[in-house]
């Protein structure tokens, strides 16, 4: 069983990844799983709002990472690379889900799952994010404000420039404030 590696050892992983053979690259992916798996799983669950699906997507993310481990030699930030893979997986899953729901609606059926019992605030925030932000914007907001990634790190995850990340986050925040009614002044 692999030793669990702390998040502070990620720079060391990045440096080691450059000159590794395939077995060693697989070991780096395994260490990334140990250091990032839990956070990555939370991110995926927040994106798709389904724990079982998030677990499947997490497994697929690490399968992709293993399959493309030779790229580690040229990856500057392996953790951001991994979150980028997970982000693409989550967005693809959301697109598939939307297409399925539209197909079901066209057939005249309503898709209804069992109601989840959650606090009203959590439901309200999730609803606000899902109704007013595109999945790509939602991913940025979740990664920034729930996982603490800065614009530079989000740039590495998404492939956008840091300035484009900041602009998209600013627009998403403004849209959420308008939609929530928090930014409007009430006159007496």
How far lies 129's CA from each of 49, 82, 113, 123, 150, in Å?
11, 24, 20, 10, 20
pLDDT of residue 17: 52
Q: CB burial class (10 A; 0-12, 13-18, 19+) of residue 179?
A: middle
Residue closest to 129 by CA, chosen among 146, 114, 117? 146
- Residue 186: CB atoms within 10 Å: 5
- Residue 105: CB atoms within 10 Å: 11
pLDDT of residue 68: 86
How far lies 76's CA from each of 24, 39, 53, 151, 153, in Å?
17, 20, 29, 16, 11
pLDDT values of the chain reduced to their tens digit, one per residue, 188 residues? 344 445 555 555 555 554 456 677 778 888 888 999 999 999 999 999 889 999 999 999 989 988 888 887 788 888 899 999 999 999 998 888 777 666 555 544 433 444 444 456 667 777 788 888 899 998 898 888 888 889 999 999 999 999 999 999 999 988 888 887 765 554 44
Residue closest to 76 by CA, chosen among 7, 25, 13, 164? 13
pTM (two decimals): 0.55
CA angle 147, 149, 80 (to 5 degrees): 100
How far lies 65's CA from each of 3, 28, 42, 141, 179, in Å?
19, 10, 18, 24, 38
pLDDT of residue 16: 55
| 3 state SS of 122 | helix
């Amino acid at each position: 069983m692999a030793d669990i590696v702390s998040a502070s050892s990620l720079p060391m992983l990045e440096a080691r990844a450059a000159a590794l053979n395939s077995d060693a690259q697989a070991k780096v992916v395994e260490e990334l799983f140990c250091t990032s798996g839990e956070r990555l799983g939370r991110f995926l669950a927040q994106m798709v709002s389904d724990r079982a699906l998030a677990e499947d997507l997490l497994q697929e993310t690490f399968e992709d990472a293993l399959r493309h481990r030779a790229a580690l030699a040229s990856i500057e930030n392996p953790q951001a690379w991994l979150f980028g893979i997970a982000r693409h997986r989550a967005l693809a899953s959301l697109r598939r889900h939307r297409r399925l729901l539209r197909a079901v609606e066209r057939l005249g059926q309503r898709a209804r799952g069992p109601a989840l019992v959650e606090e009203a605030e959590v439901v309200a925030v999730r609803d606000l994010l899902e109704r007013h932000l595109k999945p790509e914007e939602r991913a940025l907001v979740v990664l920034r404000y729930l996982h603490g990634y800065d614009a530079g790190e989000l740039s590495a995850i998404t492939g956008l420039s840091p300035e484009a990340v900041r602009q998209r986050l600013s627009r998403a925040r403004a849209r959420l404030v308008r939609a929530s009614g928090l930014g409007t002044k009430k006159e007496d």
